[in-house]
Structures are given as C-alpha cells and as structure tokens.
C-alpha cells in the first residue's frame, strides 16, 4: 500500500487511484494546513502527557512540525501535497512529518482523522470568525464615521420604500442603518468565535475515545479551548460551528448586497446621488463613456451564490446518522468555500464603499420629490385633533390636487423641516441620529480593532 495513505493494512488490492482522487479534498482544505500543524503539536502534548511518547520523540516531532509550519507559510508545502496521492491536507502533513523524522510513525497514535479534522476545523473557524468580526466592525465604523460627516453637513435624502419616494431622511440616518446592520454581523461572528473555543474534540478518536492515556486537557489548553469535548461521538460528527460561521458570512454578505443594490442605483444618472471613484469602477470594452460599479454588482451576486452553497452545506448533514460519515467532507469543503468567498466579498465591499462619494446637493434637491412630506402634514392634522383616517384622506386629496397642478404640497414645509419635525427615539431627527451614533460607537469599541 502507498505510504501516502494512512490506512491499508487489511487490504490486499491497491486502491483505485481515480477513486482516491474523487474522494480527495486536498484542494479545498489546503487552507487548513496551519491549523492542522497546531492541532498535531497539541496531540504531541497529549501523547507526551500520557507517557506514550518520550521527551526525545516529542522534541523531534515538534521540530518536524515547525519545519512543516515554515513550509506552509512559505507556500512550499502546497507543492509537496499536490505532488502526492493524498486524501486530504491532514494525510499530507502526516506524510511530510514521517519523511522528516522516524518519530513521525508515532504521531497518529490514539488519533483518528475524525477528531483531527473536527479540531482543525474549529481552529479555522475561530480564526476566520475573528476576521469576519473585524471586517463587519470595520465597515460599521466606516459607515459611522461617514454618518457623522453627513450629520454635520445636514445632508437630506429621499428615503424610499418599494423604491418609491417615501419620507425625507438624513443621509446620516441611512448610514447609521448601514452601520447597525454590520454591527449585528460582527456580533454573529463573535458568537461563532466563542463557540469555536469551547470544547476540543482532539482525543475523541474515531467515535468512542481512546484506550491510550491521552492528556486531553493538555491538548485542549495548548489550542486555547476551554475544555476537552464531553462526548466523543458528538464531537467528531458535528459541523455546527463551521455551519454557523458560514451562516454568519452569508448574512453579512447579504447585508452588503442590500447596500450594494442601493449604491448601484444611486450611481446611475437617473439618481445621481453618488459616484464611484475610478479606482473601484470598470469600463466597457465597447462603449467609451461607461463607468460601471462592478464591485457592488459582484457583491450582490455573491450573496445569492453563497446562500445556495450554504444551503448545500447544511443539506449534506441532514441525512447522516450520529458519528462520522464521509458526507461531512463535502460539508467541510462547501463551508470553507462560503467562508473564503464571503470574507473576500466583505473586503471588496469595504474598499468600494471607501471609494464612493455622495452628491449632497443632488440628494437635497430631490429629497422632497414625490411629496415625501405628506406624512408629516397628516401627523400635524392628527396632532390638531383630526382622526388618523380623516387626516390620511385629507392629505391624500391634497397630494392628488398638487400633482395635477404641478405645485408643492405645502409652501414652506420642506424636506429639512420634515426631518426636524420627528420626535421619537430612533427617528431621523438630528438629535435622535446623534444619540444613536453615540450609542453604536460605544458598542463597536467592544469588537476591538477592525480590518
């Protein structure tokens, strides 16, 4: 049997290489290489603590794993892995360690790829959740900073529902809404970080634990987990944290997609509310005049694509019994794909958002179009004692008349007056917006440094 495989002693025939290639996840999980090295070093600690390895063997194994870590960081390990017939990155690292030192023959004692993969995936999830948290917090902070600029400028824009003019709002209010969305995204990623650091599967074996005296507590501590997992069968068979991470990515990209849809519209001449800088725009191979907001369009498309992939990742777990089944290899690959593309989408959205400039004058000039102050005038009638139903009908007739005559709905009550008239907490009034931004800023501090 090939030394590149971690099994084969009970088989009499060589494996079908085409089927091995079909079952390989190497290309998808090479991204896990640095986390697998850390996982293997923690397993060395567990073997040493249990008296299964001598100190000399442990020292040799850690030296070999440090060599692999350097090769991974330099990009050299990927070439080694792709040149072999490996089922996954975990087998490739095991083979490379055995190539470096004879002590590598003992590295896999008491360990299955089941607990190895489960642990490595949690380490990956913890790292990527931290990146997602930082990305979302960074976008929220960008939106918050720009909201403060627009609040100081008093920029008013026509807020829409159904893409129809609805009510005037401060642009700072709109940007505050964007910041709130991404603050929620940061919280989702933070929850994944916490869950990914709770229970360490390493030492669970294939599904029932090990007969060797592995020091599971030492392994868990080395990897920054709170404790060893409580049930081996559950630990090796669940992908909940990876799926939660993928879900957090999908939700964050969906939020970016919603904002992107608005920015795409705002950049059209029909709106003219914004202009995307040259560094973030693309042109046409045929039409010389074109400047296209491609990053926002691509983010919009990724939201749909990633949602479908996430559904597939969840679906792969629905039909399997407890403990490990090979279906989970597909779950892993799909989840990693969602995470890597999702985080890339968030980075692209942040860069394009930085390149977006707002046209304050254009926004202000159109903030009252479509009789957006109508609701305030109805509210004024209600405050004067008229019923809500009668006030709605009265102003509705006034709108119809003004529309027929091409005249304003009110001679002095304009979009800026509408914004100032709001009285409720969380509204678009300047005072309410300022208070909301202050509160959100305090919350964002808890997320730490942003990307």
Q: Digits of tens for pLDDT over the chain (451 positions)?
A: 456 666 556 777 777 777 777 878 888 899 999 999 999 999 999 999 999 999 999 999 999 999 999 999 999 999 999 998 888 999 999 999 999 999 999 999 999 999 999 999 999 999 999 999 999 999 999 999 999 999 999 999 999 999 999 999 999 999 999 999 999 999 999 999 999 999 999 999 999 999 999 999 999 999 999 999 999 999 999 999 999 999 999 999 999 999 999 999 999 999 999 999 999 999 999 999 999 999 999 999 999 999 999 999 999 999 999 999 999 999 999 999 999 999 999 999 999 999 999 999 999 999 999 999 999 999 999 999 999 999 999 999 999 999 999 999 999 999 999 999 999 999 999 999 999 999 999 999 988 765 5
Q: Could you report how far apart the first and last alpha carbons of the chain are, in Å? A: 47
Q: Which one-letter DSSP state was computed for residue 50?
A: T
Q: Which residue, 167, 366, 175, 165, is CA-closest to 272?
A: 366
* Number of CB atoms found within 10 A of residue 326's CB: 9
Q: How far apart are CA 366 and CA 208, in angstroms?
A: 67
Tokens standing for residue 32: 């896990």
Cβ-contact 192, 308 below 8 angstroms: no
Active-site annotation holds for 284: yes
Structural domain boundaries of the chain? 17-109, 119-195+230-365, 369-445
Query: How is residue 154 written in tokens?
Result: 């008093």
Residue 127, classified by CB atoms within 10 Å of its CB into exposed (0-12), middle (13-18) or buried (19+), is middle
Q: Which of 2, 208, 284, 439 is catalytic?
A: 284
* CATH 1.20.120 is right for the domain spanning 369-445: no
Are β-strands 274-276 and 164-170 bridged in parallel, bridged antiparallel, or unpaired?
unpaired
| Residue 369: φ, ψ to 5° | -60, 145
199-200 and 227-228 strand pairing: parallel
Q: Let me know if 247 is a catalytic residue.
A: no
- Give Rg (Cα) of the chain: 29
Q: What is the CATH number of domain 17-109?
A: 1.10.275.10
Query: How far is 142 from 179, CA to CA, in rounded Å?
Result: 8
Instruction: Select from 1.20.200.10, 1.10.10.10, 3.30.429.10, 1.10.3720.10 the CATH code of 119-195+230-365.
Output: 1.20.200.10
Which three-class secondary structure state does DSSP give residue 307? helix
């Amino acid at each position: 049997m090939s030394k590149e495989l971690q099994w084969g002693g009970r088989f009499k025939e060589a494996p079908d290489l085409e089927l091995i290639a079909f079952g390989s996840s190497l290309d998808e999980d090479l991204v896990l290489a640095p986390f697998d090295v850390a996982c293997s070093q923690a397993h060395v600690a567990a073997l040493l603590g249990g008296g299964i390895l001598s100190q000399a063997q442990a020292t040799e194994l850690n030296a070999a794993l440090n060599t692999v870590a350097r090769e991974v960081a330099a990009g050299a390990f990927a070439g080694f892995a792709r040149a072999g017939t490996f089922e996954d990155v975990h087998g490739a690292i095991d083979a490379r360690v055995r190539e470096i030192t004879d002590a590598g023959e003992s590295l896999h004692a008491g360990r299955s790829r089941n607990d190895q993969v489960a642990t490595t995936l949690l380490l990956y999830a913890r790292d990527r959740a931290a990146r997602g948290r930082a990305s979302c917090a960074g976008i929220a902070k960008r939106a918050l900073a720009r909201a403060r600029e627009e609040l100081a400028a008093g920029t008013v824009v026509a807020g829409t529902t159904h893409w129809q003019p609805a009510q005037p709002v401060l642009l700072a209010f709109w940007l505050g809404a964007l910041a709130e969305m991404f603050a929620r995204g940061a919280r989702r990623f933070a929850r994944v970080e916490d869950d990914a650091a709770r229970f360490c599967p390493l030492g669970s074996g294939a599904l029932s634990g090990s007969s060797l005296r592995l020091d599971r507590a030492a392994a868990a501590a080395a990897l920054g987990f709170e404790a060893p997992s409580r049930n081996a069968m559950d630990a090796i068979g669940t992908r909940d944290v990876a799926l939660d991470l993928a879900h957090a990515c999908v939700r964050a990209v969906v939020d970016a997609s919603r904002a992107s849809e608005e920015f795409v519209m705002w950049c059209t001449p029909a709106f003219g509310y914004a202009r995307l800088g040259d560094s973030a725009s693309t042109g046409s191979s045929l039409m010389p005049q074109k400047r296209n907001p491609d990053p926002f369009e691509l983010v919009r498309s990724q939201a749909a694509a990633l949602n479908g992939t996430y559904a597939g990742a969840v679906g792969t777990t629905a039909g399997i019994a407890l403990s490990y089944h090979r279906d989970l290899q597909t779950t892993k690959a799909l989840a990693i794909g969602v995470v890597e593309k999702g985080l890339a989408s968030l980075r692209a959205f942040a860069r394009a958002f930085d390149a977006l400039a707002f046209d304050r004058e254009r926004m202000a000039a159109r903030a009252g179009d479509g009789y957006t102050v109508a609701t305030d005038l109805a509210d004024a009638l209600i405050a004067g004692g008229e019923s809500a139903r009668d006030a709605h009908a009265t102003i509705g007739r006034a709108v119809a008349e003004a529309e027929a005559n091409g005249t304003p709905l009110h001679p002095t009550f304009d979009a800026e007056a509408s914004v100032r008239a709001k009285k409720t907490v969380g509204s678009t009034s300047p005072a309410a917006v300022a208070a909301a931004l202050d509160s959100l800023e305090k919350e964002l501090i808890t997320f730490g440094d942003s990307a």
